[in-house]
Amino acid sequence: MPLIEDTRFCIDGSWVDRPDAPRIAVTNPATEEVIGHIAAGSATDVDLAVSAARRAFESYSKWPVAERLSLLERVRGLLEERTEQFAQAITAEMGAPIGFARAGQVYFGVEHVRVAIEVLSEFAFEEEVDGIHVRREAVGVVGAITPWNWPLYQITAKVAPALAAGCTVVLKPSELSPFSALLFAQVMHDAGAPPGVFNLVNGTGDVVGNALSGHPGVDMVSFTGSTRAGVLVAQNAAKTVKRVVQELGGKSPNVFLPDADFATAVPKGVLGMMRNCGQSCASPTRMVVPAARLAEVEALATEAAEGIVVGDPLDEGSFLGPLANGAQFAKVQELIQVGIDEGAKLLTGGPGRPNGLNRGYFARPTVFSEVTPEMRIAQEEIFGPVLVIQPYQDEADAVRIANATVYGLSSHVQSADQEAARRVARQIRAGQVHINYPAWSGYAPFGGYKMSGNGREYGRFALEEYLEVKAILGY
């Protein structure tokens, strides 16, 4: 494919070219070849985008709900029309298998817009509470900083509710997966978003992210990424006392009670964890199982992992493609070796690429057992196709192990006894608990306890994050 050279930013309703800006190379993780370059934005570019967003906020925040709904409907329609274009871009820039790019990456991204439309159509922005008139008003200019692992999905999870609330947005997408973000900017333009309502500046976190999170003209930052980077964003944002919503790391447990359907639930847990090559902060990376059933779980998990097809992400038969970039590949390889060195029981996988794959950031689906809570592979977010199995003695021990990390983003419970599952779910310190693998929902509040972040995304809870509450007495 020809190199993609895109040095444009979307600022104040126009494509602003920065051909003289430093370039950032974008690499196809399946081939390790450079497939294009983008421009690296500066603090000056951020300032221009924020100024445009501030000007646009004065009018856009006053738009009637019906007009905001119409804009979002047009955005949704264009995303659906361009599904294949987005899927191909995501596969090229971060390695998602093409089938999953269509049915997962793009589909769920569109769902966030659909849900925002439905929530907005029913939301009460004014109400009477104990004789007080309460209004909910747009918080202002939003700085949205999104990661490389779910490029479109994370953009729409922020931009759709922000626009629904009446906010204007400056987006800094990951510089590692920027082409789908540029396609989204074109969708916003083609949908008729007024100048300044949506802006995009590409660049690195230490320059563009830093300028955006600390900018006095930004009222709120919504950030998804690592806990390390989230701390820096929060510290920078604190200087201007802006609102910060963060969805950070995770080390999610999948607790199996003794009466669970192990033959069905263990393979589903393995495949669910390894979806997107394990590069999801909510992945159930720790399988917490009864010690008496450990051998059975090991056999089922090994069989499931060894049945996973890893290969060319453009091949419809590939379940896993490569890891998204070289830095992530190196991290995953390091932590697999750490697990071996710590004495965890390696059931399958291990360091290196799968057989037959000599280039690309492909990792072997890996399963460790007999993992204790103090091991690094039980504590650190690996962000790769690496599952750890942790045995427990009784229910109290299972809950203790489930909660024995600094994270608290997502979790799972498997049981034939619904009340038992609910009992355990209530004790897990995490923002989401999934009982017996329910369907994904764009309405369910998503966010973390502890070092997994603060605030909530998705559905009504997302919309409320982008609103201020005003009390008017004597109305």
| Residue 381: active-site member | no
Angle formed at CA 109 by CA 6 and CA 155, multiple of 5 degrees? 50
| Lookup result for tokens 């979790």 | 411
pLDDT-based confidence at 2, cuts 50/70/90?
confident
Report d(CA 216, CA 47) in Å as an integer.
10
- Residue 383 has a pLDDT of 98
10 counts as catalytic:
no
Whether 227 and 79 map to the same domain: the answer is: yes
In this prediction, residue 332 carries a pLDDT of: 98
Per-residue pLDDT tens digits for 5-24 = 999 999 999 999 999 999 99
What is the predicted pLDDT for the residue at 1?
A: 62
Clarify whether residues 123 and 213 are in a common domain.
yes
Q: Which domain holds residue 405?
A: 253-441
- Residues 108, 236: one domain? yes
462 and 421 within one domain: no
251: its two tokens: 């080390």
Same domain, 298 and 401: yes
Residue percentage of the chain with pLDDT more than 70: 100
Q: Please report, for residues 278, 343, 437, the alpha-carbon distance to residue 441 in angstroms, rounded to integers and kept in the order given.
A: 20, 38, 12
**427-444 mean pLDDT:** 98
In a domain, 146, yes or no: yes
Decide if 88 contacts 208 (C-beta within 8 A).
no
pLDDT mean over 284-307: 98
Task: List all residues 6 or more positions away from 98 whose beta carbon is below 8 Å from its beta carbon.
Answer: 87, 88, 91, 313, 314, 315, 316
**pLDDT per residue as tens digits for the range 326-344:** 999 999 999 999 999 999 9
Same-domain pairing of 183 and 264:
no
Q: Please indicate, yes or no, if residue 93 is contained in any of the structural domains.
A: yes
Residue 298 lies in a domain: yes
| 426 and 311 in a common domain | yes
Options 111, 247, 298, 457, the catalytic residue: 247
Is residue 301 included in any domain, yes or no?
yes
| Number of independent structural domains in the chain | 2
The percent of residues above 90 in pLDDT, for the chain, comes to 99
Residues 401, 248: Cα–Cα separation, whole Å: 20
User: What are the pLDDT digits (tens) for 460-471?
Assistant: 999 999 999 999
Q: Which of 10, 167, 277, 281 is catalytic?
A: 281
- Give domain status of residue 179, yes or no: yes
- Is 269 found in the same domain as 400? yes
Specify whether 84 is located in the same domain as 156: yes
- 123 and 209 share one domain: yes
* CATH assignment at residue 413: 3.40.309.10
Q: Which residues contact 127 (CB under 8 A, 6 or more apart)?
A: 133, 134
Mean of pLDDT over the chain = 97
Over residues 232-264, the pLDDT tens digits come to 999 999 999 999 999 999 999 999 999 999 999
| 217, 142 Cβ separation under 8 angstroms | no
Instruction: Give strand pairing partners of 9.
Output: 16
* 267 and 228 in a common domain: no
Q: Which CATH number characterizes residue 61's domain?
A: 3.40.605.10
Q: Render pLDDT for 71-84 as a digit per residue (tens, 0 to 9).
A: 999 999 999 999 99
447 located within any domain: no
Between CA 462 and CA 111, with CA 158 as vertex, the angle to 5 degrees is 80
In a domain, 317, yes or no: yes
Whole-number Å distance between alpha carbons of 474 and 461 = 29
Question: Residue 446: inside a domain, yes or no?
Answer: no
Question: Domain check: are 282 and 335 in the same one?
Answer: yes
